[in-house]
Amino acid sequence: MPVHRSGKTLAGAALAALALLLPLALSGTANAADDPGTRQVPARGSAWMGMGVPAHDGQGGQPGGISIQATQTEGVDVSSHQGNVAWSTLWNSGVRWAYVKATEGTYYKNTYFTQQYNGSYNVGMIRGTYHFATPDTTTGAAQADYFVNNGGGWSRDGKTLPGALDIEWNPYGASCYGKTQSGMVTWIRDFLNRYKARTGRDAVIYTATSWWKECTGNYSGFGATNPLWVARYATSVGELPAGWPYYTMWQYTSSGPTVGDHNHFNGDLSRVQALANG
């Protein structure tokens, strides 16, 4: 009997301990899932333009339901995320320009680049390429060189837009890539300077106003030279980053027809051609 009582006492103690520990274990699991350092991150190279916009900047309004003051020309941006793109379908829907992801960091080249870049050109679109920046991996100058060497060049053929620097939330870690605001501005400037030295063109800057404020301190020094491509998934473009009195392009949705990422060029087709021609 003493043994029996002892067994019951041990079992009761064990159950009581388990009852105390279970909430802690569950709490620890939830915290781990919420911790940026422990959650699953995408594979390097898989990022696309606007990847972080819905989560960080929100998404409101219906695609196409936008308030515009002047003529706009429809465009799309694509990456390996879209695979082989139905360019004739996009052309027939009124899309007249496109940007294709060429590179990321100094470690990734778009595996669908040829189909996307040549395909958009072959249906008559004016097209360009973009680079997804990773300022925590290599210098701005190194990434500009990698971009130009792998599809990011420019030629005055009336069909090629200047390259675009996609600078936005880091999908692989800290939003600002571990850089101070001044450090980020320096990195961007190094990329832009090298790109212009290599191509003769000022690169387009793609970003979101909220990211620009957080990670550059709302730096205003690029507005006079580099066209702005702003991301804002809403019925109006909203506030622009400092230094730009107007946008050149506006990525207004990630859920458009055929290809999700749709954009408006701030002007008619002749303005798109003017940017292509420099």
Task: Tell me which of 57, 104, 145, 166 is the catalytic residue.
Answer: 166
User: Is residue 166 among the annotated active site residues?
Assistant: yes
Q: What is the pTM of this model?
A: 0.80
Please say whether the beta carbons of 205 and 227 come within 8 A. yes
What is each CA distance from 25 to 13, 14, 35, 41, 53, in whole angstroms?
18, 16, 15, 23, 33
**Burial class (CB within 10 angstroms; exposed 0-12, middle 13-18, buried 19+) of 51:** buried
Q: Out of 57, 104, 168, 202, pick the active-site residue.
A: 168
Question: What is residue 50's predicted lDDT score, i.e. its pLDDT?
Answer: 63
Please answer whether residues 184 and 241 qualify as being in contact, where contact means their C-beta atoms are separated by less than 8 angstroms: no
pLDDT tens, residue order, the chain (278 aa): 443 333 334 344 444 443 444 333 333 333 333 344 545 788 887 566 666 666 666 566 443 333 445 689 999 999 999 999 999 999 999 999 999 999 999 999 999 999 999 999 999 999 999 999 999 999 999 999 999 999 999 999 999 999 999 999 999 999 999 999 999 999 999 999 999 999 999 999 999 999 999 999 999 999 999 999 999 998 889 999 999 999 999 999 999 989 989 999 999 999 999 999 99
Choosing from 77, 145, 202, 261, the catalytic residue is 77
pLDDT at 52: 65
- Counting Cα atoms < 13 Å in the Cβ hemisphere of 59 gives 14
* Cα–Cα distance, 107 to 105 (Å, whole number): 6
Collapsing DSSP to helix, strand or coil, 188 comes out as: helix
Q: What confidence score (pLDDT) does residue 155 get?
A: 95
Can you tell me the distance from the alpha carbon of 250 to that of 233, in angstroms, rounded to the nearest whole number?
9
Q: Alpha-carbon dihedral of residues 147, 148, 149, 150, nearest 10 degrees?
A: 50
Please say if 104 is a catalytic residue.
no
Number of other residues whose CB lies within 10 A of the CB of residue 236 = 13
State yes or no: is 261 an active-site residue.
no
Per-residue model confidence (pLDDT) at position 60: 61
What is the C-alpha separation between 170 and 93, in angstroms, rounded? 33
